[in-house]
Amino acid sequence: MILAQMVSYMSDTSSAKPSFIASDLVFKQLDLTGLRVLIDWALSEGWNPGLSDAELFYAADENGFFGCFIGDELIGGGALVSYDDDFGFMGLFIVKPEFRGTGIGARLWHFRKNTLLARLKNNAAIGMDGVITMQDFYKKGGFEIAFRDERYQRIGEVFESDPNVSNFTIEDLTAILDFDLECFGVNRKKFLAPWLLSANARSITYKSTDGLKGFAVIRKCHLGYKIGPLFAENFSIAEALFKTCLTIGQGEQIFLDIPVVNKDAIDLVKKFKAEYVFECARMYAGTPPKSSLIKVFGITSFELG
């Protein structure tokens, strides 16, 4: 059911389509109010956004969201976020149901890609997470699959706490930014600081005598919680962080999106008998950032990377 909802926004084949001409379409940058509309649409499609996602996404790049309009009516939109002009990410791609299958989605997607390329430095790459049904379309647009992402879910429960796991404090920020750079591949301080400090999230760290060895963020969503990112030096550290997240969300559904190129991440969800939900693929146009995927046990989000 969740997978069907995730991909339905591009696959509607209803014969009752609204009439319009190409000149009716106008692409405009969205403010926070417009972004909230897209998040509301995502909720209605079953994407289960976080309670603060609109504000957190907007904090990452206030110029990174565009919509397609007919007159004053917003009919589609998406993210085209720049990370210090060194790397871009496209996500949150959604079109109102009555306008699907009309070609508007393709026009919007290409507009977003071209606009993002113009914002970035020469030769900067763009990333995205593409659902299976749209991967051929994205390939034609210049994107190649780097690895598959699989979403898993499990009900939270209480586990014994690990003495090396503690709540994030602002003093941890510099070490986390360094660790995140190693795992994600580009600097994203503007995004990550608000993400870590969100009132609807818990951020936790794993620290040993020689410093930070991993961190995770678990954020409240309309249904349960999502973990992301979950970055760790090794399996045992990732397991300790995962157990703490499951304890935080005890009794509720907990979702984790893993890159299947990390065998330890697969072993983690198997050990805890998490259930497969659906999959997509991380795709790049251009040379992907150099990232340490063996330390990525949970990606941050399908919308912003």
pLDDT in tens, the chain (305 residues): 343 334 443 444 444 566 565 568 999 999 999 999 999 999 999 999 999 999 999 999 999 999 999 999 999 999 999 999 999 999 999 999 999 999 999 999 999 999 999 999 999 999 999 999 999 999 999 999 999 999 999 999 999 999 999 999 999 999 999 999 999 999 999 999 999 999 999 999 999 999 999 999 999 999 999 999 999 999 999 999 999 999 999 999 999 999 999 999 999 999 999 999 999 999 999 999 999 999 999 999 999 99
Token readout for 39 is 């998040």
From residue 66, give the alpha-carbon distance in Å to each of 26, 30, 124, 158, 162.
Answer: 10, 5, 20, 42, 43
Residues 135 and 10: their CA atoms lie apart, in Å, by: 12
Structural domains of the chain ordered from first start: 2-13+20-133 (3.40.630.30), 151-298 (3.40.630.90)
CB of 126 within 8 A of CB of 111? no
CB of 113 within 8 A of CB of 141? yes
The pLDDT assigned to 114 comes to 97
The pLDDT assigned to 19 comes to 58
Residues 208 and 272: their CA atoms lie apart, in Å, by: 24
The pLDDT assigned to 21 comes to 56
Q: Are strands 296-298 and 225-232 parallel, antiparallel or unpaired?
A: antiparallel
Cis ω for the linkage preceding 97 (within 30 of 0): no
The pLDDT assigned to 17 comes to 65
Token readout for 178 is 């360094």
Q: What is the DSSP letter of 113?
A: H
The pLDDT assigned to 24 comes to 83
Q: Are strands 225-232 and 211-220 parallel, antiparallel or unpaired?
A: antiparallel
CB of 155 within 8 A of CB of 252? yes
The pLDDT assigned to 9 comes to 39
Alpha carbon of residue 64 to chain centroid: 14
CB of 271 within 8 A of CB of 240? no
* E strand or H helix at 88: strand 87-95
- Return the residue matching tokens 């995205």: 128
As beta bridge partners, residue 29 has: 66
Token readout for 289 is 């950032």
The pLDDT assigned to 20 comes to 62
> Nearest-CA neighbor of 247 among 160, 158, 173, 185?
158
Q: Helices marked H in the chain — which ranges?
A: 2-7, 32-44, 53-60, 104-119, 135-140, 173-184, 189-197, 235-248, 263-271
- Return the residue matching tokens 């699989």: 150
Spell 258-287 as b/e; 16+ CB within 10 A means b.
bbeebebbbebbeebebeebbbbbbbbbbe
Residue 102's identity, in one-letter code, is: T
The pLDDT assigned to 6 comes to 43
pTM to 2 decimal places: 0.92
The pLDDT assigned to 3 comes to 39
